Amino acid sequence: MAAVTVTSRRTMTDSVGVLEQSGRVLAPGGSGRSAETWKRHIIRQLKHRDRSQHAMFQDLIRLYTQLLEKTSLAKGILSCSIRCPSPDSSSSISSLLHQKNQVEKTTGELAYQAVELQQEIKIKECVLEERHVRLEEERRRLVDASETHQELQERVKQVQEENGALKMEYDALLERQRAAEARLREENIRGHHLLEEMIHLKQQAAARMNSRNERRSRAREANLQKELQTAARSKVNIDSSSSSAPTSRSTSPKNEDRSTESTERKHTRLFRSASATSPRILTSIKELFDRRRRGQSVCSLEEDLMCPVRICLSARVPARALQVLEAHEQGINAARFSSSSDLLATGGTDRVVKLWEVRAGSLTHRATLDGSTEGITCIDFEPRGLLILAASYDKSALLWRLDDSVPKLTLTGHSRKVTAARFSSLSHQVVTGSADRTIRLWDLQRAACVQEVEVASFCSDLVCSENCIISGHYDCKIRVWDARAESCVQELPAQGKVTSLDLSADHRQLLSCCRDDCLQLVDLRRWSNDRMCFRAEGFKCGSDCTKAVISPDGCFVAAGSADGTVYIWNVSTSNLETCLPDKHSSSISAVSWSLSGEYVVSVDKSRRAVLWSDI
């Protein structure tokens, strides 16, 4: 190694010398300055290389030079000792051998260290190679990550563009929705106005028709009056001995004078002319009175004839339950017997009216009347029993024939739920009460409202008597309306919110049920402040639509309590007659008593109907 280093140094020195000589040769030429410049540059590069290589191998060269020096020294000593033996040769030889051993030991240690260093270098080269490999992998992963990052950025830009487009579409749809809602509100307002205008036009048309019919009726009455007066002015004297009128009129004038004188002397009787009893005048009188009785309606005479109603002489106080059944799919709000007592109607929140036949102490389902879009609140039968009327939460009242499940008429016009619907004293008219604080009179032939009365409070129930309507309200008042004058003629105070009203069969007594847990009975003939109150321990009015009932003979009143018990009071003593418990699991909403006095039905909010009797 030293020889190589010395040789390289000599080569470099010779190169430098050659370069210097070539520089001296080129100097006289004129380009000597440029030659010295590149020469110095090369010399600097060579010196830099020598310094860098010398620094790298300086330690190794130094150690190796020391080793060589020691080796050469040991060889020289051995050769001298061999050539010139001396007395102290043995000691010197031993010392030399010792030195040799130390040198060999040092050489071995250095060799071992060199081997270890070579192994460490190999290990470090392996580690370095692994790190290079990992570095390349990380670089590749970095390149892949940057490519993925770039793709994701492009995807983000694309998604942002799509979101922007969707946002613009959403804004456009939102504007369209707002415009559509504004148009819908305008159309609703317009429809409301058109409905009001249509109702107003119908009312005007009804008023015009009523006035025209009134004028015609007055003209007919005037013509009939004239005919009657004309017939009354024509006088005929009839002889009791004559066999026939033509014989008396066929006599001669002389005989006529004689007969006249003779009849003047006798008791004579004045008769109307035969024209007064002619079929034409009798027909006119019949038509006049028929039109008066029908109230100017277009109903036929057959429809206006009233059917006889059974009269109950003595009602039976129920003692036990004959039948308990789940009558509806949801809670039941109303129950009503027909006038013949063989048919029961129930209605509830499942939006249907069910008809039940009452036979031999049991209820048999007969038909289901649908058509309402919301729950039923009140039910009423026509006195003849051919039609059934129901009030509904869908702001309307519906009319069915008993042989048809589709409504014959739907009376719409109220702005809130209809809480009561009853047939008036005229079979072609019905009265409805609503939560919109109005009471309306409807003509069924025209399916139009002919009268509307505004009240000061929520109407909970109403009943119809002859020429008057009685309504109960949430402001703790009972109002009596004259149907002819369209005005309130009397107000009766109540102790709480009125939940129901009921009339006795003879229309002489009015029963009211209030939220103060009290039933009151008023005599309509006197309208006095003296009232009969019915209370009982445990009785509690369960809701704002709890319906109480009077027995057909007017001797008992019945109502259902919030605890599922039916309470019955005696009217004559004002005492509790009996209680019917343990058949209802929730608040009783309505009680109905058959007109025959034989059965009582109670219904509750848990879909249950119970048929009671004393049998």
Higher pLDDT, 329 or 20: 329
Distance of CA 406 to the CA centre of its chain: 26
Contact, 389 vs 409, CB < 8 A?
no
> What pLDDT score does 172 carry?
93
Q: What is the pLDDT of residues 583-593, one digit of tens each?
A: 998 999 999 99
Average pLDDT of 539-559? 92
Phi, psi of 521 (to 5 degrees): -120, 125
Q: Per mean pLDDT, which of 165-169, 301-305, 447-451 is the most reliable?
A: 165-169
> What pLDDT score does 119 carry?
86
Is the pLDDT reported for residue 306 higher than 50? no
Q: Which two tokens stand for residue 251?
A: 């006599």
pLDDT-derived band at 87 (thresholds 50, 70, 90) equals: low
pLDDT-derived band at 78 (thresholds 50, 70, 90) equals: low
Half-sphere exposure of 340 (CA within 13 A, CB side): 12
> What pLDDT score does 348 carry?
93
**Least confident interval from 10-24, 71-85, 227-241:** 10-24
CA gap 54, 58 in Å, rounded: 5
Q: What is the pLDDT of residues 200-251, one digit of tens each?
A: 888 888 888 878 878 888 888 888 888 888 887 766 554 444 333 333 333 3
Is the pLDDT reported for residue 311 higher than 60? no
Half-sphere exposure of 102 (CA within 13 A, CB side): 8
Q: What is the pLDDT of residues 470-510, one digit of tens each?
A: 999 999 999 998 877 777 888 888 888 999 999 998 888 89
Is the pLDDT reported for residue 114 higher than 90? no
Strand partners, 280: none
Contact, 399 vs 430, CB < 8 A?
yes
**Least confident interval from 64-73, 123-132, 600-609:** 64-73
pLDDT-derived band at 96 (thresholds 50, 70, 90) equals: low
pLDDT-derived band at 551 (thresholds 50, 70, 90) equals: very high
Is the pLDDT reported for residue 89 higher than 80? no
Q: Domain ranges in the chain?
A: 334-547
> What pLDDT score does 40 carry?
85
Q: What is the pLDDT of residues 591-603, one digit of tens each?
A: 999 998 899 999 9
DSSP per-residue string spanning 311-340: --SSPPPP-EEEEEEE-SSS-EEEEEE-TT
> What pLDDT score does 32 carry?
54
% of the chain exceeding 70 in pLDDT: 76
> What pLDDT score does 285 carry?
47
CA gap 351, 334 in Å, rounded: 12
CA gap 33, 379 in Å, rounded: 132
Q: Which two tokens stand for residue 524?
A: 């309509």
CA gap 433, 592 in Å, rounded: 20
pLDDT-derived band at 101 (thresholds 50, 70, 90) equals: confident
> What pLDDT score does 271 carry?
34
Residue 418 CB partners (closer than 8 Å, separation 6+)? 377, 378, 391, 392, 393, 395, 396, 397, 432, 433, 434, 435
> What pLDDT score does 143 carry?
92
Half-sphere exposure of 132 (CA within 13 A, CB side): 6
CA gap 602, 558 in Å, rounded: 10
Q: What is the pLDDT of residues 251-270, one digit of tens each?
A: 343 444 444 444 444 333 33
Is the pLDDT reported for residue 365 higher than 90? yes
Is the pLDDT reported for residue 9 higher than 80? no
**CATH top class, domain 334-547:** mainly beta
Strands of the sheet containing 418-423, edge to edge, are: 418-423, 429-434, 438-443, 448-454
Helix (H) or strand (E) holding 111: helix 89-233
- Count how many residues are written for the chain: 615
CA gap 64, 76 in Å, rounded: 18
> What pLDDT score does 467 carry?
79
Average pLDDT of 291-310? 41
User: End-to-end CA distance of the chain, in Å?
Assistant: 139
Mean pLDDT computed over every residue of the chain: 79
Burial letters 27-43, b for 16+ CB under 10 A, else e: eeeeeeeebeeebeeee
Is the pLDDT reported for residue 25 higher than 80? no
